[in-house]
Structure 1
Amino acid sequence: MTALPLAFGAPLLTASIRSTPEDFQVDELPAFEATGEGEHLLLDIRKRGANTVAVAKQLAQWAGLPEMAVSYAGQKDRHAVTTQRFSVHLPRRVAPDLAALASDDVQVLASTWHNRKLQRGALAGNRFKLVLRDLQGDAAAIDERLRLIAARGLPNWFGEQRFGRDGGNVPAALQMFAGRRVRKDQRSMLLSAARSALFNRVLAARVEQGNWDTPLDGEVWMLDGSRSVFGPEPMSDVLAKRLARFDIHPSAPLWGVGELRSTDAARALEEQALSDDQALALRAGLEEAGLKQERRALRLRPALMQHQWLAADVLELSFALPPGCYATAVLHELGQTNDASRAE
């Protein structure tokens, strides 16, 4: 993400993150209350230094079921302490001993029955607590930047997790589009990376022009907290008020088959940002794969944002983000952070 532009000026800090798993805490916010009945056992699990997929496999082995009987709403970081919900399909409503799941890495916090399988994306968002260590930077300037982010929001970047180690997912997607065969799970990941890269290009162009949170002629609007869009329609006092209270956001394309919905200046910017050879190849590959044109909000506003200095060189941040948004987008607006877990 260091190559992406900044919305609020020069970087203010250098720091290390994930010095320990406890320095990167993520709590999944559930999207629904369990019914208390049914044949799907919902488990709220806290994991430390463990991969979501690996925990799902562990649950399948614990229940004596195929891996497809276990589901989760979203994947969580490995080098972190995270809480998230899993579901296990137990048609006879007989759960093995929960105590058998306990380990240094995995703890079951709660369990209850539900009448449906947990679907991917079935979460209200994620709450983060991050600790930045060995921080170098002016504390007063950092405090002001954080207040500005809380008040104005920030660009809604796709984070580096989407692009794989050293950004390798986009080149791999281009190879797939050129005919290289990949597994089904890899295909989905590479399609997402290609789409995300194109979105970030459009967002980068708008950040550079200073209009990532203000409308262009021909703007397509996205309703906050949903995938619903409307427009284009001319700017009005009503739309200006809705924009100011974060009820709506400008948007950019998630590429696929179909015409761009945007028009005029917004469409011209999108087409220009996606006009080089690599972007055209990614566009063609996504269209060939059958994905449909969608949109994503350009702007993100963290909720419940707080920070405190634990020491002169240690800063703790806490905030909540909607589904599909990245904590690294917040860190990007502050400066350069080094992921200490990558040294392992």
Structure 2
Amino acid sequence: MTETQIILKPLPFAYGGPLCTVRFKASPEDFIVNEVLGFEPSGQGEHFCLLVKKTGQNTAWVADQLASFVGINKRQVSYCGLKDRHAVTRQWFSLPFPIKKDVDWHLFKVPGVEIERVVRHHRKLKRGTHLGNEFRIRLYSEFPEKQIVEQKLGIIQARGVPNYFGEQRFGIAGDNIRAAEESFARQSLSRMSPNKRSIILSTARSVLFNNVLASRVVDHSWNQYLPGDVLQFNDGNTIIKADAIDEAILQRFEADELFVTGPLWGEGALLTAHEVATLENTIAESVSLFAEGLVHAGLKQQRRSLALVPKQLIWQWLSESCLEVSFFLAKGLYATTVIRELVEWGDSQTA
């Protein structure tokens, strides 16, 4: 273990903090997630694609049940992403199976699991293949006046929230951070399984990104352009480097076509310049074990938007004490990052 431990600090809020404490995920039906592939399976090929509804079950366990049912190795079952156990979720799984053979999926009987659709596809689903997720979340509390709650929801709808990596990225009580510290200090990444190595690297990157974002939330620049910033289009992929930003680009930023970004740390020069580059380098030096470890691991410098604007955000009052909020998020974004700006929850379950 390193002498100076990296601490997971409380993340500042953009709009003054949560309005109240709520009961969150009191039952699975209070947290509904529908995975959106963003494309239609081809209808032919050597893979089954299954749209599975699961209630109170985790993704890996469902994958094991599917593998056991058709008699293949569980490693052959793939999916786009993990979905929360304490929820009702619909997500896609894929598994290889000969074209000339078929399966009577009606015989698949597993508590809390329903196969809603079966279609052939020409390739397996990989992590991150999907477009994003639709969320429907019910919150229970003695809320302040509805006008106050809806005013803040309107602000979130219009301006978005700081795009923090959610607490679940860091494990229970920050266990993933401790594991990352040990791994980098002992230089043991090369001896890890690919999955564990991925968790360690993602944790380190997320800590550094969140620290940069937190600093810019404090000075109110997380959604403001600063000289030296790198901007990113809505697609989450295309970026514009600091030296390429001109008046026309800034006009597109003001029209909400572009977002300010923060670093996903790795080797190579920062794409930012001036005071922004100074800030990012200073924060990287404050967690130098992680920054240097990411470079040594061979990860390349990438960027991530500092702002998260939920799409299709709507809400309705199911009762005086129950608020239902719905929205769509692209893959890699966290529903709890949206909700935390409105309310805080009284339990430790996150998604």
1:63 CA displacement: 1.3
Q: Check 1:198–1:2 CA distance in 2 against 1; reply closer, same or farther (3 A cut).
A: closer
Q: How do 1:44-193 residues align onto structure 2 when only pairs under 5 Å count?
A: 44-179=51-186, 182-193=192-203
Question: Equivalents in 1 of 2:336, 2:69: separation in Å?
Answer: 34
Question: Equivalents in 1 of 2:152, 2:259: separation in Å?
Answer: 21
1:101 CA displacement: 2.2
Residue identity opposite 1:204 in structure 2 = A
Question: Equivalents in 2 of 1:149, 1:76: separation in Å?
Answer: 24
Q: How do 1:161-240 residues align onto structure 2 when only pairs under 5 Å count?
A: 161-179=168-186, 182-233=192-243, 236-240=246-250
Among 236, 242, 254, the residue aligned to 2:264: 254
Match of 2:151, SS state, is helix
Question: Equivalents in 1 of 2:212, 2:120: separation in Å?
Answer: 44
Instruction: Please say which of residues 2-11 and 64-73 is displaced more in the overlay.
Output: 2-11
Aligned residues: 340
Q: How do 1:261-272 residues align onto structure 2 when only pairs under 5 Å count?
A: 261-272=271-282
Question: Equivalents in 2 of 1:294, 1:229: separation in Å?
Answer: 10
Question: Equivalents in 2 of 1:239, 1:7: separation in Å?
Answer: 25
Among 289, 293, 305, the residue aligned to 1:297: 305
Residue identity opposite 2:233 in structure 1 = L
Question: Equivalents in 1 of 2:151, 2:221: separation in Å?
Answer: 21
Q: How do 1:259-338 residues align onto structure 2 when only pairs under 5 Å count?
A: 259-276=269-286, 279-338=287-346
1:22 aligns with 2:29: yes
Q: Check 1:42–1:337 CA distance in 2 against 1; reply closer, same or farther (3 A cut).
A: same
Question: Equivalents in 2 of 1:315, 1:282: separation in Å?
Answer: 40
Q: Contact 2:236–2:305 (CA<8 Å) still a contact in 1?
A: no
Q: Contact 1:331–1:337 (CA<8 Å) still a contact in 2?
A: no
Structure 1 alignment gaps of length 5 or more: none
Q: Contact 1:158–1:200 (CA<8 Å) still a contact in 2?
A: yes
Q: Check 1:274–1:335 CA distance in 2 against 1; reply closer, same or farther (3 A cut).
A: farther
Q: Contact 1:159–1:329 (CA<8 Å) still a contact in 2?
A: yes
Match of 1:318, SS state, is strand
Kindly report the root-mean-square deviation, in angstroms, between the aligned alpha carbons of the 2 structures.
1.8
Runs of 4+ more than 6 Å apart? none
Q: Partner residue of 1:6?
A: 13
Q: Contact 1:63–1:95 (CA<8 Å) still a contact in 2?
A: no
Cα deviation code 1:149-205 (max 9, x no counterpart): 111111111111111111211111010112256443222111111111110000001
Structure 2 alignment gaps of length 5 or more: 1-7
Instruction: Please say which of residues 109-118 and 128-137 is displaced more in the overlay.
Output: 128-137
Q: Contact 2:80–2:129 (CA<8 Å) still a contact in 1?
A: yes
Cα deviation code 1:188-241 (max 9, x no counterpart): 111111111110000001111101111111111112123221211475442233
Question: Equivalents in 1 of 2:316, 2:247: separation in Å?
Answer: 38
Question: Equivalents in 2 of 1:126, 1:93: separation in Å?
Answer: 33
Instruction: Please say which of residues 302-311 and 199-208 is displaced more in the overlay.
Output: 302-311
Question: Equivalents in 2 of 1:69, 1:234: separation in Å?
Answer: 45
Q: Contact 1:15–1:134 (CA<8 Å) still a contact in 2?
A: yes
1:42 CA displacement: 0.5
Q: Contact 2:285–2:291 (CA<8 Å) still a contact in 1?
A: no
